[in-house]
Each structure stands twice: as structure tokens, then as C-alpha cells.
Chains A and B, each alone.
Chain A
């Protein structure tokens, strides 16, 4: 299965600032996904990122708040912009390989 790493693993940020999360995969993949997991909750898909095209956002998520880059087939970034305490969550990237979807370790964000 694909090996996925994320940076940073955790961060504490002040409200009003922005944080960019990096996701690196050890193989080339067509589609990468970003999820949010709020404290004690399940996972919610934020957007799908394809290389060479604009990310596709799910209902309730907008590009201005969560801009995504996908410069090549092994890398993507998610930025959490103008953060508020409600953005405190675990942010996870994932990839699909042979129909199975694998997840990175997550970035644990706390906004104060």
C-alpha cells in the first residue's frame, strides 16, 4: 500500500493566521483527498485534488478558506486560512490505490 506522510504532525496556531499542511506520497497517484476530523468525531471529506486541475470541494467547504495545491502526482498541500478555534481538528490526506483508500497520519491543529 502507498506510504503517506504529512507535515507538520501537529501545530498550535493563533486565530486569524493561516497554516499550510503538506502531504507526500511514495508513489504517483491520480487522486488525493483531504479530510477533516473534528475532536471526537468522524471524518468529513473537504475536497478532491487532481493533478493539473482545480480541486473539487464538498458542500460546506470553499476554496478561499481551504485552498489546495496539487503540483505533481506525489504531493499536495492544504491551507487552512484565517483560522478560528472552530478549525481545531485533525486534517488527513488520503489516496486511492487499486480501489482501496489509504490515509496519512494526520495533522493535529489547535487554534487558540
Chain B
């Protein structure tokens, strides 16, 4: 299938290690943030979200951290698996409620055995 993220920064990790993907968001008015995973040839898949009244939210093997002071968002993936290899995008809602999303540039995660 067509490749996504050919020119994006790449994070390479060993299988079983923890991964941390970072994102700087742009709009101080943003109060809702989402992480998406996009595998080659597929549409973005919702992973986890967080609202601005929280600093941390955990899901299954994933944790999102939000630092509003420096407008920084991170996604932590525990015990990274080969199936986690994909391009990861952060998105913010700007001032558009929960609908109009502004996507970050994306990071490719490459998991090596």
C-alpha cells in the first residue's frame, strides 16, 4: 500500500522497550487533544484523548501527558510491539469545539525485533 510518513521524523525502538512520542501544539485556546495511529494504507485510528483539565490519562499500554504551560503533549507506549509500528499524529481542537481538529506533523515509530 501507499506509504504514509515517508518524510517524517522517525523514532526507532527495540521490541519490549517503552516509546515516548512528543508533540508541541500551537493554539493556547485548545482544550482537547487526541493521539491517532496511522498504519500504511489505512485511515487514522483513534488511540486516546485528553482534556485540558487533566495532566495525564492512561489507557491500555498507552499514557498521554499534557503540559499546558509549555504546550506539549506526549504519548507513552509501554512494552512496544511490532504491531505498534505506524505513524502517530497528535491533534488539537483549536477553538473549534470537539470537531475541527488541527493535526501535528506526525512521527513514524519503527519497532525492531
A60 at the interface (CB under 8 A from B): no
20 interchain pairs (CB within 8 A)? A10-B2, A31-B99, A33-B99, A40-B8, A41-B105, A42-B103, A42-B104, A42-B105, A42-B106, A43-B89, A43-B91, A45-B100, A100-B34, A100-B49, A101-B98, A102-B46, A103-B43, A103-B44, A105-B43, A106-B42
B61 at the interface (CB under 8 A from A): no
> Which range contains the number of A residues in contact with the other chain?
20 to 34
Chain B residue contacts of A102, Cβ below 8 A: 46
**Residues B8 and A101 in contact, CB atoms below 8 Å apart:** no
> Which range contains the number of B residues in contact with the other chain?
20 to 34
Known: A42-B103, A44-B103, A45-B101. A92 touches B44 (CB 8 A): yes
A72 at the interface (CB under 8 A from B): no
Q: Tell me the dominant secondary structure on chain B's binding face.
A: loop
Chain B residue contacts of A4, Cβ below 8 A: 43
Give the contacting residue for A43; candidates B6, B45, B49, B103; CB below 8 A: B103
> When chains A and B are docked, how far (Å) is the Cα of A25 from the Cα of B99?
17
Chain B residue contacts of A41, Cβ below 8 A: 7, 105
**Residues A39 and B6 in contact, CB atoms below 8 Å apart:** yes
* CB under 8 Å from chain A, chain B span 12-52: 32, 34, 36, 41-46, 49
Chain A residue contacts of B102, Cβ below 8 A: 45
On A, residues with C-beta under 8 Å from B are 1, 4, 10, 31, 33, 37, 39-45, 48, 90, 92, 94, 96, 99-106, 108
**Residues A99 and B49 in contact, CB atoms below 8 Å apart:** yes
A74 CB to nearest B CB, Å: 17
**Residues B42 and A43 in contact, CB atoms below 8 Å apart:** no
